Amino acid sequence: MLSGPAGGFRSTFPGLFAGKPSQDVVALLDAVAADVRPNSVRIALEAIAAADLRHVLPRIEVPTLLV
């Protein structure tokens, strides 16, 4: 999304859905992806990647798979 050509991002990449999404969902995801500001996404992703949230792991109260 950030390093590819403009308009080259596929909003329904493999594994995002358990089955084939409807055309309405694909159209909505494409519209959202087309409106993304790459620099804003880059900043947000870098902040998420840098966050160390291990201290909150014991507070998770639902079945969760952490990879």
Please count the CA atoms within 13 angstroms of the CA of 54 that sit on its side-chain side: 3
Q: What is the pTM of this model?
A: 0.50
Q: Return d(Cα 49, Cα 44) in angstroms, integer.
A: 9
Residue 1 has pLDDT above 60, yes or no: no
Task: List, for residues 4-58, the tens digit of each pLDDT value.
Answer: 666 666 677 778 888 888 999 989 988 888 888 888 888 998 999 999 999 998 9
Per-residue tokens: 19:
């089955």
